[in-house]
Amino acid sequence: MANRGKSLDSEIFSIADLQAKASEKLPRVFKEFFNEGAMDLITVKDNEDAFNRYKIRPRVLRDVSNLDTSTTICNTKVSFPFGFAPAATHKIAHPDGEIGTSKVAAEANICMALSSHATCSLEDVIAEGSGNPYMIQFIILKDRNITRQLLERAESETHRFVSLIIAGAKSSYVTESGYKAVMLTVDAPMLGRRLNEYRNSFGIPKGMGYPNLAPGSDMSNLTETGEGLAYGELRMFEIFLQTPNDIFLEDGIEWAEAIAWIRSVTKLEIWVKGIYTAEDVALAIQHGVNGVVISNHGGRQLDGVPATLDALRECAPVAKGKIAIAIDGGIRRGTDIFKALALGADYCFAGRIPIWGLAYNGTKGVELAVKLLQEEFKLAMCLAGCKTIKDINKSHLSILETNGVLSKL
């Protein structure tokens, strides 16, 4: 007798299916922009392959009735340990853009980190929130006023949103809505060399821009001639190659200055994204950062670095009990989330998955993606013998050594 349950979609049964269908719908220039990464794509592929190197060790005859997949991030309860990583230009995938992504994050009660290169304003994105936590991602620019304005907008929007909720006498839980943290990307003092952008002369469509970057500032020097072209009309790689050094990526800043400057601008939690090593986790702890994200930018920066899951194995013991630790990169299954948590992650992010959802079917496609992952994760917990998130630990994993021996972690 079949006992497969009801399908969520007639064509999509996994994130791999979603990626394939989304890729069919996207023009080559945008498909490769979203799906590929730096140089030879070694790290892009390894991020996914790493999850297959670790095997789940189920425990049986455990009470797994009333499974609880919930956890917390930014002191806010969420439905399960998965959220949307900051990824640029959602509107390229579908007109719903980041607003559609935000609607799903709110409905599913998960965390969303908004890219500073989003194609919808941070105000419009947070307006869809319903108690779930949001973060605003940024890179410190040489023109600090651009970065300052972005962070101040996020924090003021949080205060405005919370005060309205209090005035409306909603529950104390809902008052947690708003931008709860800023997320500093630290692995991009220069952009990685993404060959697809050169081959395809990548550029975002006319009329599409980055409303969270310096509204009201003079951006004319981000054009090929200094005038006549809108910021969003330039090919992405030309922006970084031609932009004067005094306005773009800050490549001379170090830990102490960076964190102190952020604290002078905002009172929101500070998370650092783009950590690869235990040494940098220790520095994040030393400087009082609230959380770190083990990330290699989805393989879009330095090709040949370790898969994020392998880096997590090195970093998690240093973070344990001292700082929140999350991971992104390569997550495609609910079992991937389980494995990351077993290796010490508190939370998992993904950037491409909501984009594939948008490309497939707009907001409904993103909703489908989250439901697939949530069902798979719940199933993994049940079959592994874990009733709550706290039950998941490294005793539930083993690794297949090169000599063919299955070794318990």
Cβ atoms of 379 and 114 closer than 8 Å = no
Is 297 in the active site?
A: yes
Find out whether 331 is annotated in a ligand binding site.
yes
274 is in an annotated binding site: no
Annotated ligand binding at 352? The verdict is yes
Q: Is 329 annotated as a binding residue?
A: yes
* 395 annotated as belonging to a binding site for a ligand: no
Please tell me the distance from the alpha carbon of residue 269 to that of residue 272, in angstroms, as a whole number. Answer: 10
Nearest to 313 by CA among 336, 347, 348, 345: 345
Task: Tell me whether residue 38 is annotated as binding.
Answer: no
Strands (E), 312-387: 324-328, 347-350
The phi-psi region of residue 65 (left if phi > 0; otherwise alpha if psi is between -120 and 50; otherwise beta) is beta
Asked if residue 396 belongs to a known ligand binding site, the reply is no
Map tokens 């932009």 to a residue: 243
SS3 labels along 269-322:
EEEEEEECCHHHHHHHHHCCCCEEEECCHHHCCCCCCCCHHHHHHHHHHHHCCC
Tokens of 90: 């959602």
Residue 35 CA: distances (Å) to CA of 23, 26, 29, 31, 229: 8, 11, 10, 6, 28
300 annotated binding-site participant: yes
- Distance (Å, whole) CA 314 – CA 331: 18
Q: What is the DSSP letter of 141?
A: B
Q: Does 86 appear as a known binding residue?
A: yes
Q: Tokens in use for 249? A: 């990526």
**Residue 397: in which H helix or E strand, if any?**
strand 397-400
Binding residue per annotation — 332? yes
Identify the three-state secondary structure at position 37: coil
Q: Which of 90, 94, 117, 297 is catalytic?
A: 297
The closest of 188, 185, 118 to 153, measured between CA atoms, is 118
How many other CB atoms are there within 10 angstroms of residue 281's CB atom?
A: 25
Is 100 annotated among the ligand-binding residues? no
Q: Annotation-wise, does 273 bind a ligand?
A: yes
Do the beta carbons of residue 119 and residue 208 sit within 8 Å? Answer: yes
CB 311 within 8 A of CB 277: yes
Q: Is 351 annotated as a binding residue?
A: yes
* 354 appears as a binding residue in the annotation: no
CB 41 within 8 A of CB 379: no
In sequence order, what are the beta bridge partners of 327?
294, 348
Query: Phi then psi for 289, rounded to 5 degrees?
Result: -70, 150
**Known binding positions for FMN:** 86-88, 115, 137, 185, 273, 295, 328-332, 351-352
Q: Which residues are annotated as a binding site?
A: 86-88, 115, 137, 185, 194, 273, 295, 297, 300, 328-332, 351-352
Residues that constitute the known binding site for glyoxylate:
194, 297, 300
Residues tagged active-site: 297
